[in-house]
Structure 1
């Protein structure tokens, strides 16, 4: 059996996967969200007015679609973005027509009427739980193009193009270019080692390094910009991460390469007096940085530089990097993930310190008269589950 505590690189990789798994939305919440947009889809398909006779599809876009969700910090609502894809060419309708048709159809229902909020080009449903859903109405660009969509601009006077399905496919194709994630190679052994505790879901080890990179970057984005202006959008983080991913099979190596390359590219653009641009990979005419001011660029680089600096400190040992893990991902998440790692693997290690720490973390530790910590006799140790932290 693999002794994870004798291999810092494997232990670090497993811990990063645990942190990302801890950060993502749980399956119960994901299923609740999926039920929410399926219910909206069913209601619209039964509409006897505008939507009668039209072929429609309601589907998630963004982090839900690419498997890179991250729980908001400080108990904020999760923003679920969905598309109402109307399979009819946009030139047969006006932006305000499809927007108003969506509002009208939802307001016919007593429940949706009470939770509906009109936004500039989408309709928000504020569920009385821990998420809200933004529904963006959209039409086809033409009868032969199924994925490209036209969506209302904020003033509801003009259209802009989009391709959320195409973007997700682009991202996932790159993510799946890895031959085998490093943890996937040890997945069976690692899962088997967790016999005395609640097992992690298999996806914790098989989710791709790129998906994990995006989750970890977004978590630090949320922490870094909690009290700063001009936060970096998820679409920018996701695009850059996928663009610079080189099929590394390790979360750590993928992150190290991606963030270093972003930093180098940005500095090169300054040195050569060029504007650092980020284009939509499935719609090259769309520049995600088109509206960025100098303040946006300074904010972006500050975030990248700060993350890069802290990430370098993770290269050697937990003894020298514990505080950096906390600053990157939050104290509670880090300590809980590290605690669970000790609990799950301490029984199979030959490292006496790790074994003792694991017994204490699992609340099954006894201190013998000679001072040795064991799992069978002596004085029962107290519970040491004070994770602390605000995130």
Structure 2
């Protein structure tokens, strides 16, 4: 592809990823709902008040990589931690889970919305119109000795300090310790991987919105890394649907972040990430697959691959397909939008791609009307880049019957 076709193709991929986003209204509503839960848990009459309960987003909602569900009747989940300041020597997993659940049940609305108890969390199921649920994982800070241990393994102090102990009802009857987690530490690591591009995008967005950089909400900034993760997750979902052995998001996200080198556009980032993913999948001395959690090297994200080989098989199958699909797609770019749209619809879904194409067309029309659109002589490719070999595309003027 030429630089001009690269730019147009990049614009199309970014539009598809943007179409995968939940709406600003959905995001705002989810934040309002989980903040309300936090206020209830921390109210003056709450038995949890003394433990300073804090509700924080985790997972894709925190990372800015949420994607819409495949179908209209599916919900997206908002993963949260509820951290209580309690020394783990003073409470068990079961007790921690119970006191959070008991407080939720004291609220008539939350009691009605509570789903049957999940393995690690309490789920609040919102009305169908909202299309989301909140998954609240009770947690407490990990002890200082564990934090020091993480630091000795190369984890920064800023990340290690966010280490948590969580609940898991499949382990609490026999485990000698709480399961470990560090979702906020992972988010800090993820944002560090894209720090350069995130800051650049934030400055550009601030300029376009005529506000200070500090005023720009983090969730409104989208880097190529976040867009790549969204695109790859949807490509996986289209291929494997609800298959329980399909590649899991944490592995796709981690490998993408490790491979990302702050590329400035989505197309280049996608190409580079796919070409480098394999290099971050290791095997230990006994031949077991190993993908270390970057904020807790003792945790292996690929541990289930070793227990269930089909999970590894599907991951490598998916990765090979993604590499092949996007190479083939890049080769089709010069054949026109119709030819490009056919494979895109197979990879991301017909409605998503149709909307993305319409959005790009609308943006192109706007650029044309604002005299910001140019055509490359010899190729006919449209671009916002004014080069020595380009000519401006004139505004379209409709002289209809009123001029006759």
Structure 2 length normalisation: TM-score?
0.77
Following superposition of structure 1 onto structure 2, how do residues 360-375 of structure 1 map, counting pairs within 5 Å?
375=397
Among residues 317, 322, 325, which one is paired with 2:341 in the alignment?
Answer: 322
Cα separation, partners in 2 of 1:164 and 1:269, compared to 1, 3 Å: closer
In structure 2, how many angstroms separate the alpha carbons of the residues matched to 1:203 and 1:323?
34
Is contact 2:194-2:261 (8 Å) kept? Answer: no
In structure 2, what is the equivalent of residue 163 of structure 1?
182
Among residues 61, 77, 96, which one is paired with 1:64 in the alignment?
Answer: 61
In the TM superposition, what is the alpha-carbon distance from 1:134 to its structure 2 partner? 0.6
Cα separation, partners in 2 of 1:336 and 1:90, compared to 1, 3 Å: same
In structure 2, how many angstroms separate the alpha carbons of the residues matched to 1:120 and 1:205?
32
Aligned-residue Cα RMSD (Å) equals: 3.4
In structure 1, what is the equivalent of residue 193 of structure 2?
174
Among residues 4, 7, 27, which one is paired with 1:10 in the alignment?
Answer: 7
In structure 2, what is the equivalent of residue 196 of structure 1?
none
Following superposition of structure 1 onto structure 2, how do residues 192-207 of structure 1 map, counting pairs within 5 Å?
207=222
Following superposition of structure 1 onto structure 2, how do residues 263-342 of structure 1 map, counting pairs within 5 Å?
263=278, 274-292=287-305, 293-316=308-331, 317=333, 319=335, 320-342=339-361
Q: For residues 48-81 of structure 1, what are the alpha-carbon distances to aligned partners after superposition, in whole Å with 9 as ceiling and x for unaligned? A: 4641311121010011111111111102100110
Cα separation, partners in 2 of 1:175 and 1:108, compared to 1, 3 Å: same
Identify unmatched segments of 5+ residues in structure 2. Answer: 148-160, 210-215, 383-394
In the TM superposition, what is the alpha-carbon distance from 1:274 to its structure 2 partner? 3.7
Q: Which structure is higher in helix share?
A: 2
The alignment status of 1:226 with 2:241, answered yes or no, reads: yes
Q: Is the partner of 1:134 in helix, strand or coil? A: strand
The alignment status of 1:120 with 2:119, answered yes or no, reads: yes
Q: For residues 84-109 of structure 1, what are the alpha-carbon distances to aligned partners after superposition, in whole Å with 9 as ceiling and x for unaligned? A: 01122222110000111111111111
Among residues 77, 81, 93, which one is paired with 2:75 in the alignment?
Answer: 77
In structure 1, what is the equivalent of residue 273 of structure 2?
258
In the TM superposition, what is the alpha-carbon distance from 1:207 to its structure 2 partner? 2.1
In the TM superposition, what is the alpha-carbon distance from 1:35 to its structure 2 partner? 0.9
Identify unmatched segments of 5+ residues in structure 1. Answer: 193-200, 356-372, 380-391
Q: Is the partner of 1:339 in helix, strand or coil? A: helix
In the TM superposition, what is the alpha-carbon distance from 1:142 to its structure 2 partner? 2.3
In structure 2, what is the equivalent of residue 131 of structure 1?
132
In structure 2, how many angstroms separate the alpha carbons of the residues matched to 1:143 and 1:275?
31
In structure 2, how many angstroms separate the alpha carbons of the residues matched to 1:202 and 1:47?
30
Which sits farther off after the overlay, 153-162 or 83-92?
A: 153-162
In structure 2, how many angstroms separate the alpha carbons of the residues matched to 1:56 and 1:186?
36
In the TM superposition, what is the alpha-carbon distance from 1:375 to its structure 2 partner? 4.2
In the TM superposition, what is the alpha-carbon distance from 1:338 to its structure 2 partner? 1.7
Following superposition of structure 1 onto structure 2, how do residues 6-155 of structure 1 map, counting pairs within 5 Å?
7-46=4-43, 48=45, 50-75=47-72, 76-117=74-115, 118-128=117-127, 129-142=130-143, 146-155=161-170
Cα separation, partners in 2 of 1:57 and 1:214, compared to 1, 3 Å: same
Cα separation, partners in 2 of 1:248 and 1:85, compared to 1, 3 Å: same
In the TM superposition, what is the alpha-carbon distance from 1:377 to its structure 2 partner? 3.2
In structure 2, how many angstroms separate the alpha carbons of the residues matched to 1:126 and 1:328?
30
The alignment status of 1:343 with 2:362, answered yes or no, reads: yes
In the TM superposition, what is the alpha-carbon distance from 1:269 to its structure 2 partner? 6.1
Is contact 1:342-1:354 (8 Å) kept? Answer: no
In structure 1, how many angstroms separate the alpha carbons of the residues matched to 2:202 and 2:184?
27
Q: For residues 221-280 of structure 1, what are the alpha-carbon distances to aligned partners after superposition, in whole Å with 9 as ceiling and x for unaligned? A: 2211116441222111111111111222221111111112224666x869x994332111
Cα separation, partners in 2 of 1:73 and 1:299, compared to 1, 3 Å: same
Q: For residues 134-165 of structure 1, what are the alpha-carbon distances to aligned partners after superposition, in whole Å with 9 as ceiling and x for unaligned? A: 10000111269641100112323341111111
